[in-house]
Amino acid sequence: MTIMMPASDQAVLARRDEIVAALRAIVPGEGVIDSAAEMVPYESDGLMAYRQPPMVVVLPDTTEQVSQVLKYCFEQGIKVVPRGSGTSLSGGALPLADGVLLGLGKFKRIREIDFDNRAVVTEPGVTNLAISQAVAHAGFYYAPDPSSQIACSIGGNVAENSGGVHCLKYGMTTNNLLGCEIVLITGEIIRIGGKSAETSGYDLMGIITGSEGLLGVITEVTVRILQKPETARALMVGFAQVEAAGECVARIIGAGIIPGGMEMMDRPAIHAAEAFVHAGYPLDVEALLIIELDGPGVEVDELIGRVEAIAQGCGSTTLQISTSEAERNLFWAGRKAAFPAVGRISPDYLCMGGTIPSGALPQALARIRDLSEKYGLRVANVFHAGDGNLHPLILYDANQPGEMDKAEAFGADILRVCVELGGVLTGEHGVGVEKRDLMPEMFSEIDLNQQQRLKCAFDAQGLLNPGKVFPTLHRCAELGRVHVHGGKLAFPDLPRF
């Protein structure tokens, strides 16, 4: 591990037995895990390069238990790390040695399906896909579809504001939420929103979404569900240059077409995917676009024609249009398997996730190529082309001394390039521990202080998931001080009318 976490509180560690007993009094039976062997599965999340056994794992199954656990921890000054399914790719659920790992895995019940209000009320441990499955019989689905949707929990989706390949058209988690229940570190239970389109007062649900477990523990979620589009078809288009593919993306959007999904892969990613799944990808192109149109059949047919014309106008060298569901799925098979496909050609890989303005793609890929040479590490790029979310996969071998550090440095440089090109550090994976120390690349100290003041409004002691998102932790009292500048002269130098 190369990242510094907050120093462990020795006084808390010394009281471990007492703490475990107190937690057992709240959550009986198997809900408290304190043996080293049984805690191993909780040592890391989807970012497996970082591991840390927690002090103790607690798996409550009611909101009341969550409330009591948090209240106890608050009163005793014990840190808490919330965890859903543990699929975070940024280390958002990485435990702390002196912290309670609070797992929501037992919250597995869908509480209500309300088709009239197009809403599902669910416990946070329910998987993303299970929500869609529960409403599929009536033609509905839940739109955000992170690639981990079979495993990731809806509570985790809220904490990370998860996206997916369809979010250009259908939005991220934050755009598909109606309500939530959270428990603050004090144990206080707060309900926000419901089945209405908007919440009252400040948009606190909006700020909790994507807050990476730093503001509260999510114990119930109400999501909006949609009717499934009548049909979907895809085009698979190859280009001899990345620039031409980028131009094609810009012209499609410029023509007023928002595809259900628009993905790009570069040559190394195409080759790795084709070798793995034999999707029929062209191997003599530099960039491959998969463009999916969804909606009524007549609309999809019309838009396929328009996109085809745009692609040809941009000099596509290969172009296939799916004529069946099987073929559409085959087009996607390679893209969806891109990560494991890269995993086959390299002992290890690091997946990055910055966002750039789509138009800067050729520049970004050129810079990544230069960095690849500089670091002597191969890289394959997959890209949510419509919204500029880049996923470079850095190939390395952790058994080679120093190579993991090199891969991480390479990844950090890529994210710096994203920010430099007008983009951001992360489009959908979150900051977590992985990008924590890069936050100053994007935000000034003043920006970060304002974010931390907001944290203080929820958790003044900084007990919830400390060590994530923010590189430097400040005391709330210090952040809350208002500095009175200048003298008492009101509004100097301003024109008055």
Q: How far apart are CA 176 and CA 161, in angstroms?
A: 10
Q: How far apart are CA 26 and CA 21, in angstroms?
A: 9
Max Cα-Cα span within the chain: 74
> In the numeric block, which tokens belong to residue 411?
């990844």
HSE (side-chain half, CA atoms, 13 Å) at 159: 37
Pattern 225-254, other proteins, x by CB under 8 A: --xxxx-------------------xx-xx
Minimum distance from residue 9 beta carbon to other proteins (Å): 25
- Pick from 49, 151, 424, 471 the residue near other proteins by CB under 8 A: 424
Contact range with other proteins by CB under 8 A, out of 41-49, 93-101, 355-363, 368-376? 355-363
> Please, which of residues 55-114 interact with other proteins by CB under 8 A?
114
Minimum distance from residue 305 beta carbon to other proteins (Å): 11
Q: How many residues bind other proteins (CB under 8 A)?
A: 110
274 vs 428, which CB is nearer to other proteins? 428
Minimum distance from residue 53 beta carbon to other proteins (Å): 28
Binding of other proteins by 459 (CB under 8 A): no
Reference 160, options 412, 394, 149; nearest CA is 149
Binding of other proteins by 477 (CB under 8 A): no
Minimum distance from residue 309 beta carbon to other proteins (Å): 14
- Spatial CB neighbours of 351, under 8 Å, sequence gap ≥ 6: 89, 339, 391, 392, 393, 394, 429
Element (H, E) at 183: strand 177-183
- Pick from 340, 376, 440, 480 the residue near other proteins by CB under 8 A: 480
Minimum distance from residue 344 beta carbon to other proteins (Å): 28
* Complete DSSP assignment for 284-319: S-SEEEEEEEEESHHHHHHHHHHHHHHHHHTT-SEE
145, 228 Cβ separation under 8 angstroms: no
Beta strands per DSSP E along 209-301: 217-224, 226-227, 231-239, 261-266, 287-295
245 vs 431, which CB is nearer to other proteins? 431
- Pick from 6, 53, 171, 282 the residue near other proteins by CB under 8 A: 171
- Pick from 20, 190, 319, 404 the residue near other proteins by CB under 8 A: 190
> Please, which of residues 426-455 interact with other proteins by CB under 8 A?
426-431, 435, 439, 442-444, 446-451, 453-455
Q: 497 exposed, middle or buried (CB, 10 Å; 0-12, 13-18, 19+)? A: exposed
> In the numeric block, which tokens belong to residue 442?
């994007």
30 vs 483, which CB is nearer to other proteins? 483
Pattern 151-170, other proteins, x by CB under 8 A: ---------xx-x---xx--
> Please, which of residues 257-316 interact with other proteins by CB under 8 A?
257-258, 295-296, 298-299, 302-303
> Please, which of residues 108-147 interact with other proteins by CB under 8 A?
114-119, 139
Binding of other proteins by 475 (CB under 8 A): no
* Complete DSSP assignment for 335-350: HHTHHHHHHHHSSEEE
Q: How far apart are CA 96 and CA 53, in angstroms?
A: 7
104, 93 Cβ separation under 8 angstroms: no
Minimum distance from residue 19 beta carbon to other proteins (Å): 27
> Please, which of residues 379-398 interact with other proteins by CB under 8 A?
384, 387-389
Q: How far apart are CA 258 and CA 255, in angstroms?
A: 9
238, 282 Cβ separation under 8 angstroms: yes
Binding of other proteins by 365 (CB under 8 A): no
- Spatial CB neighbours of 424, under 8 Å, sequence gap ≥ 6: 354, 355, 418, 442
Binding of other proteins by 213 (CB under 8 A): no
Binding of other proteins by 469 (CB under 8 A): yes
> Please, which of residues 313-332 interact with other proteins by CB under 8 A?
none
119 vs 291, which CB is nearer to other proteins? 119
18 vs 230, which CB is nearer to other proteins? 230
> In the numeric block, which tokens belong to residue 133?
């499955």
Reference 181, options 107, 113, 127, 129; nearest CA is 107
Binding of other proteins by 195 (CB under 8 A): yes
